[in-house]
Amino acid sequence: MDIVCTLRVWQRRPSGDRETVARSGLSVANHGAHTHNTFMRHVAACGVIGMICFLAGCLPTYVGNPDTAVVKPEYVGVWFREEGGDTQVWAVHKMNERNYLLQSYNIKTVDGKLTLDSTLAWRAWLADVGGAEFVSMEAFSTEQLLETEHDTNRYTVGRVKLDAGALKLRSIDPKLLQGQNVTTPQQFEALLKNNLDGEGVYLDEMTFTKVDEKNRAKLAPVLELVK
């Protein structure tokens, strides 16, 4: 069984200044290292979540309750991670007492010049599942409003923690849901409680560092692109 993920991102084309919506269908199957590596490159381009990195809306449901969740102020701020010459930036805002607004940016170096490659907006909230902290993220894009048939696989879920000032995230591997009848938050939480530290539950851990006075000057060219 393949897992089909649809990535919806505002992507800045290298050939011009106009931003257009790029939609890519990704399929993951046991077809060898080449397929897996290609998939992971696409995943990393989202700034998310390992989301990220992170899958931009590959899961049919979430964990927790966005209407009763509680915002923790220590997650609010601008976070970044660097990998393979790319920089991923997360701007985490307090939307209200329950939810965060998360803006993710992926910056690449093209012909020696920093370029804003893609952006994505999320609503995010925290949840306790079996004593572990998880974040659920709901992706939003203009394309969703224009579609006549709405894709319900718009969620990303990951296990998250703050460790010595770093934000560490392990996204749920969508393959965990293969063959499982998981369509509600309650069913998803029950599955995770039975597999909190199981093999194959998570993608690779991603570590984000918070932007502060010590590293802000070094990151100035990147931050200028995401203001």
Q: Which residue has the higher pLDDT, 152 or 23?
A: 152
Residue 88 pLDDT grade (very low, low, confident, very high; cuts 50, 70, 90):
very high
222: tokens are: 């990147």
Three-point CA angle 50, 144, 172, nearest 5°: 25
Strands (E) across 13-112 are located at 19-28, 77-83, 86-94, 100-110
Percent of the chain with pLDDT over 90: 62
